[in-house]
């Protein structure tokens, strides 16, 4: 297996071939998911599903599917003196939660057993992501197939060359043809697919619920029901716009568009018009989700036009009870973080806490500078102005249990019904009646709350709070009933 490979020009074709062959490869599949973090935690709820769909060059995928004895390739120089170099091919021998046991299959260290750990990656920011993020994953990918460029310097007994589109240059074709020892060991498949043929091959669905992560070549018609105003992310200055879509069976889909996509679609994306979504990346958040609560949480709309165009990320929301959170955390994979929705009241226990802190407007980190004072942030290294940022330590109570949480920024302002500046101006003992009035109004409402937690940090003494990522006021009837 290690003396043969399929070569193709683009990473997209490599991923398709590797995904096909790993499912046909004998043995039990082992799944490893990366943890993708935005640099600012406040962006995590909006961007995480989108980040999961990205696989920038030289980064491992979000989902690694591996089986015993399958071929893999290193993507980083981990320990060159021991043979663990970028491009080294290995064979998987066994799997642990945080370590992969592999055997080097090429060059001077052939048959040497090594352990591969998870490591953090910081991809370059470009037009495909729009903001910085960190991915923690094993520095490998399957190597049934590889790009022609990645095969340079290797000699193989058998080579298959797959060309669904032309090579970039004559030199690239030469590299592919010269990887085998003899001409008889090379096979070439040229099979371009036109846009018209590709459209005919797609299966048309009427319900988003019928589309799974394994569905291929699909499309579905959606209706645009709502378009929010354009907004700017505080952390990254990336422009985004939220949409609400419905399929033909009435299943609701929340979507977001980013950057230049918003301007490009402004004249063509209209309320109550139908559009086709094709080959989106589908990711269910929890397989136990109720069929009556299939609300698709996040579709990143890139190149949305009419007729068909792709969207790229979906997930499913489920309301979790506080009493079940401990069990959910026990079932998480190593380094996996918890992100769930609950329905609860928000209670402020300590009225003497300070409901704001002075921060850098670029990275939201705390600083000792004064309001509106200019300074160079020691964290993000940018010149900025010091501004107050809301913060509140609260308790989330859903009648099945209580969890300690912390709210920041716009989430705190929405819950308290006032601005950060108002909280700052009404701090101190003389303003206790104002704070008590705000808190009393807050505690009478029931909210849908998205919380986030790092199980490893929760074990530490200084990290005992869940992070509230977003909140939504419940229906008026529910809140009216809770306050009566």
CATH number of the domain encompassing residue 470:
2.40.50.140
Q: Which of 171, 192, 213 is the last residue of a domain?
A: 192
Q: Residues 164, 206: one domain?
A: no
pLDDT band at 125 (very low <50, low <70, confident <90, very high): low
- What is the distance between the alpha carbons of residues 104 and 111, in angstroms, rounded to a whole number? 5
pLDDT (0 to 100) of residue 284: 52
184 and 213, same domain (yes or no): no
Among residues 265, 300, 335, the one where a domain terminates is 300
> Do 375 and 226 reside in the same domain of the chain?
no
Lowest mean pLDDT among 62-71, 273-282, 283-292: 283-292
Say if residue 180 is in the same domain as residue 278. no
Among 118-122, 236-240, 399-403, name the one with the lowest average pLDDT. 236-240
List pLDDT tens digits, range 62-115. Answer: 889 999 999 999 998 888 888 888 888 999 999 998 899 999 988 788 889 999
Residue 306 placed within a domain: no
Mean predicted confidence (pLDDT) in 359-364? 80
Instruction: Identify whether 312 is part of a domain.
Output: no
In this prediction, residue 160 has a pLDDT band, given cuts at 50, 70 and 90, of very high
Q: How far apart are CA 164 and CA 191, in angstroms?
A: 5
Question: 69 and 164 share a domain?
Answer: yes
How much is the average pLDDT of 105-128?
80
Q: Residue 271 CA to chain centroid, in angstroms?
A: 28
Together in a domain, 172 and 75: yes
- Interacting residues of 465 by C-beta distance below 8 A, sequence separation 6+: 393, 404, 405, 406
**Confidence at residue 201, expressed as pLDDT on a 0 to 100 scale:** 53
Read out DSSP for 274-313?
A: EEEEES--B--S-TT--GGG--EEEEEBSS--SS-B-B--
First to last CA, the chain: 70
Computed over every residue of the chain, the mean pLDDT equals 79
Whether residue 403 is found in the same domain as residue 431:
yes
Is the pLDDT score of 282 beyond 70? no
Residue 305 belongs to a domain: no
- Does residue 479 register a pLDDT over 60? no
Which of 128, 159, 192 finishes a domain? 192
Residue 36 lies in a domain: yes
User: Per the structure, how many domains does the chain have?
Assistant: 3
**Same domain, yes or no: 292 and 183:** no
* Lowest pLDDT segment from 85-99, 276-290, 446-460: 276-290
Residues 366 and 288 in one domain: no
* Radius of gyration of the chain from its Cα atoms, rounded to whole angstroms: 26
Q: How far is CA 443 from CA 12, 396, 451, 468, 482, in A?
A: 50, 10, 18, 16, 10
Residues 52 and 144 in one domain: yes
What does each C-alpha distance from 239 to 115, 130, 175, 234, 389 come to in angstroms? 42, 10, 42, 10, 21
Residue 293: the pLDDT is 34
Token pair belonging to 73: 């390739």
- Considering the domain boundaries, does residue 315 fall inside one? no
The answer to whether residue 138 is domain-embedded is yes
pLDDT > 90 in the chain, percent: 21
Quote the pLDDT of residue 329: 81
129 against 4, higher pLDDT: 4
Same domain, 279 and 345: no
Q: Are residues 33 and 123 in the same domain?
A: yes
Is the preceding peptide bond at 481 cis, omega within 30 degrees of 0?
A: no
pLDDT band at 203 (very low <50, low <70, confident <90, very high): low
In a domain, 270, yes or no: yes
pLDDT at 281 over 70: no
**If residue 108 lies in a helix (H) or strand (E), which one and from where to where?**
none
Q: Which domain holds residue 342?
A: 322-483
- For 265, the token pair is 């679609």
Of 140-144, 162-166, 332-336, 432-436, where does the model show the most confidence?
140-144
pLDDT band at 194 (very low <50, low <70, confident <90, very high): low
| 22 assigned to some structural domain | yes
């Amino acid at each position: 297996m290690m003396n043969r490979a399929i070569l193709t020009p683009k990473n997209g074709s490599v991923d398709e071939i590797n995904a096909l062959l790993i499912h046909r490869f004998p043995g039990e599949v082992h799944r490893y998911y990366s943890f993708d973090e935005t640099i600012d935690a406040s962006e995590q709820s909006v961007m995480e599903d989108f980040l999961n769909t990205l696989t920038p060059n030289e980064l491992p995928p979000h989902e690694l599917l591996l089986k015993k004895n399958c071929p893999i390739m290193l993507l980083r120089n981990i320990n060159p003196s021991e043979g663990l170099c970028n491009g080294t091919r290995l064979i998987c021998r066994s799997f642990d939660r945080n370590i992969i046991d592999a055997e080097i299959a090429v060059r001077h260290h052939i048959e040497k057993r090594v352990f591969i750990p998870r490591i953090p990656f910081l991809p370059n920011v470009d037009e495909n992501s729009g903001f910085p993020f960190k991915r923690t994953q094993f520095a490998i990918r399957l190597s049934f197939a590889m790009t022609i460029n990645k095969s340079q310097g290797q000699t193989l007994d058998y080579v298959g060359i797959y060309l669904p589109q032309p090579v970039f240059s004559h030199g690239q074709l030469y590299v592919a043809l010269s990887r085998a020892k003899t001409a008889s060991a090379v096979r070439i498949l040229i099979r371009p697919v036109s846009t018209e043929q590709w459209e005919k091959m797609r299966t048309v669905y009427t319900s988003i619920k019928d589309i799974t992560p394994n569905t291929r070549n699909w499309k579905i018609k959606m209706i645009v029901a709502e378009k929010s105003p354009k907004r700017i992310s505080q952390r990254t200055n990336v422009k985004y716009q939220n949409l609400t879509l419905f399929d033909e069976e009435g299943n609701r889909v929340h979507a977001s568009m980013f950057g230049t996509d918003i301007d490009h679609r402004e004249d063509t994306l209209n309320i109550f018009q139908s559009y086709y979504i094709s080959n989106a990346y589908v990711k269910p958040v929890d397989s136990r989700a109720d069929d009556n609560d299939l609300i698709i949480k996040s579709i990143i709309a890139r190149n949305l036009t009419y007729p068909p165009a792709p969207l790229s990320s979906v997930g499913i929301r489920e309301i979790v009870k506080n009493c079940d959170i401990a069990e959910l955390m026990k079932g998480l994979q190593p380094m996996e973080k918890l992100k769930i929705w609950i329905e609860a009241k928000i209670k402020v226990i300590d009225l003497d806490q300070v409901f704001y802190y002075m921060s850098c407007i670029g990275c939201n980190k705390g600083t000792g500078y004064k309001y509106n004072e200019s300074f160079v942030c020691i964290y993000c290294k940018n010149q900025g102005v010091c501004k107050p940022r809301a913060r509140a330590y609260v308790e989330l109570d859903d009648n099945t249990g209580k969890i300690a949480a912390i709210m920041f920024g716009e989430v705190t302002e929405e819950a308290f019904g006032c601005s950060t500046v108002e909280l700052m101006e009404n701090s101190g003992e003389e303003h206790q009646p104002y704070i008590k009035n705000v808190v009393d109004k807050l505690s009478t409402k029931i909210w849908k709350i998205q919380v986030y937690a790092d199980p490893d940090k929760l074990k530490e003494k200084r990290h005992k709070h869940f992070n509230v990522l977003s909140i939504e006021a419940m229906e008026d009837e529910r809140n009216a009933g809770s306050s009566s």
